[in-house]
Chains A and B, each alone.
Chain A
Amino acid sequence: MSLYGLQKLIRDINRVPAIREEYFAGSDNIFTHYDLTDPEISAIRDKDWGRLYRMGVHGLLLRPFSILHQVPEPAYLTAIREPA
């Protein structure tokens, strides 16, 4: 698992407008700039907050990332509280 790369991607999307724009444009090209495993890319593509959380993404990276996707707090919390 390349948790570092996964968290770096999410942090960059959260903080860097150009990267955020590229991500929301829907191109998979963005994933080539980061050291990511296939399951990590799938979890991002699926917007699977629970899997991303259980992969180890820090809550203060993941919750702002979910907010960018307009995910309400109760839905986010339900997802991260699901058992593995």
Chain B
Amino acid sequence: MSICFAAALGHAPGITAWSDAAPPEQRAHLQAGFDTLRRDLEAAAPDELIVFTSEHWANFFLDHISPFCIGRADSYTGPIEPWLRVPKTKLQGDPALALEILTHCYANDLEPAYAQEMEFDHGTMVPLHFLTPAMDLPIVPIMINTLAAPQPSARRCHELGRLVGEVAASSSKRIGLIATGGMSHDPGEVKHGWIDSEFDRRFLDQMEAGDTSALTAYTTQDLFAAGAGALELLAWIALSGAMGAKPAKTLAYAAVKPWATGIGIMEYL
């Protein structure tokens, strides 16, 4: 098996852009989780990363929305936000692995879009900043439409993840899998600042149990009830598809009011 590392973590811009606004004990708790992930990733020594992620109108607009889009570029740049306090960087891509994923998906009746040009926003750059600060690992980004209704179902995201996991597991390379986003939050919307910790804890429990039935049963409405940003957890559900029913471990969770987001950090050990 060539999946040598797998983790899910939040990507709220406040984590880097206004980190000081968070209570020190919450920051320390989350930083410990990020540090554990970084150390484990370094120990696993992946050749490259496949990142299930979402964006915030950075690349895609309503002129053309697809449920899934796989990056096939030679390289990517990010972040697009000059205020994120993450240095703008050029990251290497892996178009060959991206094509392998696409081919396997198409052969199995799932047809993601693809793009040979893509920029990364905080949705991808904040997690990479903590996991691989040198930004020296090739990336294959898999964007999930979590913004524009209708969004893909949890079941379909899980299936995407399962197919990606098959490619990663049979690869001659050592692959790290990362899912970003969530947990409960309602950015820019009327419930902005509200965090549903009960929902977040339940979701983490389901990931810890490897409870595929529960994770794939989430409807768009179920996720939306925890805020529009909770739909980003579709990326986590895709990751769970890649990992089968394997249980994940929660490394940290905090409902960070100044970041207006429930931040979860999980790893498959």
- Residues of A at under 8 Å CB distance from B? 4, 7-8, 11, 14-15, 58-64, 73, 77, 80-81
Shortest distance from the beta carbon of B82 to any chain A beta carbon, whole Å: 11
Our pick among B61, B186, B187, B188 for the contact of A11 (Cβ within 8 Å) is B61
A4-B62, A7-B62 are contacts. A61–B57 as well, Cβ < 8 Å? yes
Does more than half of chain B's interface fall in helix, strand or loop, or is it mixed? loop
Number of interface residues of B (CB under 8 A): 17
A60 with B147: CB separation less than 8 A: yes
B193 with A60: CB separation less than 8 A: no
A58 with B147: CB separation less than 8 A: yes
Shortest distance from the beta carbon of B163 to any chain A beta carbon, whole Å: 29
In the assembled complex, which residues on chain A have CB atoms less than 8 Å from the CB atom of B61? 7-8, 11
B57 with A15: CB separation less than 8 A: yes
Shortest distance from the beta carbon of B88 to any chain A beta carbon, whole Å: 15
- Residues of B at under 8 Å CB distance from A? 56-58, 61-63, 80, 147-148, 186-190, 192-193, 228
In the assembled complex, which residues on chain B have CB atoms less than 8 Å from the CB atom of A64? 188
Our pick among B56, B80, B190 for the contact of A60 (Cβ within 8 Å) is B56
Shortest distance from the beta carbon of A75 to any chain B beta carbon, whole Å: 12
A60 with B62: CB separation less than 8 A: no
In the assembled complex, which residues on chain B have CB atoms less than 8 Å from the CB atom of A63? 187-188, 192
Our pick among B56, B148, B188, B193 for the contact of A62 (Cβ within 8 Å) is B188
> Complex: how many Å from CA A58 to CA B62?
11
In the assembled complex, which residues on chain B have CB atoms less than 8 Å from the CB atom of A77? 190, 192-193
Q: Sample 30 A-B pairs with CB under 8 A, ordered by A number.
A: A4-B62, A7-B61, A7-B62, A8-B62, A8-B63, A11-B57, A11-B61, A14-B57, A15-B58, A15-B80, A58-B57, A58-B147, A58-B188, A59-B186, A59-B187, A59-B188, A59-B189, A59-B192, A59-B228, A60-B56, A60-B57, A60-B187, A60-B188, A62-B188, A63-B188, A63-B192, A64-B188, A73-B192, A77-B192, A80-B190
